[in-house]
Amino acid sequence: MDHTFLSAFVLLLLVLDPFGSLPIFISVLRGVAPERRRLVAVREVAIAFSVLAVFMVGGQHFLALMRLSERSLEVAGGVILLIIAIRMIFASGGEIYAADGSAREPFIFPLAVPLLAGPSAMATVLLLASRQPERMLSWFGALTAAMAISGLVLLSADRLRKWLGASMVAAIEKLMGLVLTAVAVEMILAGLKRYFFET
């Protein structure tokens, strides 16, 4: 199936799923000083964009060099998301990504990678670039537009937290943790199925 700029943009936006990841954004940014949240959000989006752009250009070569398949990338990403989901479900009000119980400013993990530049997004940009390499500029444009929307959602995370309230955010976190668990398991099973039953 050949893609246009618009279809690639919609596909990438669905894969990035910034609205579905909003409770995670809110939870992670809760431990960041208010005056630094905007800077952190912009930085993480820029890192995610850079990762996906590099993967779009050289992802196939990297996988070939490391003798890795897209299936292994899918399974690994599913395991990471499963760990994140379990922490979301069983978090007791503290910062769910801080191993020592103290709030930390996120750097690369978990906002940039794997929530924005996750395995699904990597596989999508790799697929676009490998199927229609002559339209690389269009794919970069679609990626830029999708990342811009994701950045706007991330920048509004703190405001949405104030509107929703702490108890509602906590409830959404638990619910999204359950959903993310199912997504992670599905990703792992899909990777295993492709590995064992598809050539």
Q: Residue 124's domain spans which residues?
A: 5-197
Place of tokens 């801080």: 98
Closest CA to 17 of 116, 112, 108, 151: 116
- The total number of structural domains in the chain stands at 1
pLDDT tens-place string over residues 83-117: 877 877 886 554 444 444 445 688 888 889 888 99
Question: Contact, 64 vs 193, CB < 8 A?
Answer: no
Q: What is the mean pLDDT of residues 136-161?
A: 89
pLDDT tens-place string over residues 110-135: 889 888 998 778 878 887 887 788 89
pTM: 0.69
- Describe the crossing of helices 119-131 and 5-16 by its angle, rounded to 10 degrees: 160
37's enclosing H/E stretch is helix 37-65
66's CB contacts (< 8 A; 6+ apart) are none
Question: Contact, 75 vs 192, CB < 8 A?
Answer: yes
Of the ranges 2-11, 100-109, 145-154, 157-166, the best mean pLDDT one: 145-154
Give a three-class secondary structure readout of 114-181.
Answer: HHHCCHHHHHHHHHHHHHCHHHHHHHHHHHHHHHHHHHHHHHCHHHHHHHHCHHHHHHHHHHHHHHHH
Cα–Cα distance measured from residue 187 to residue 82, given in angstroms and rounded to the nearest whole number = 10
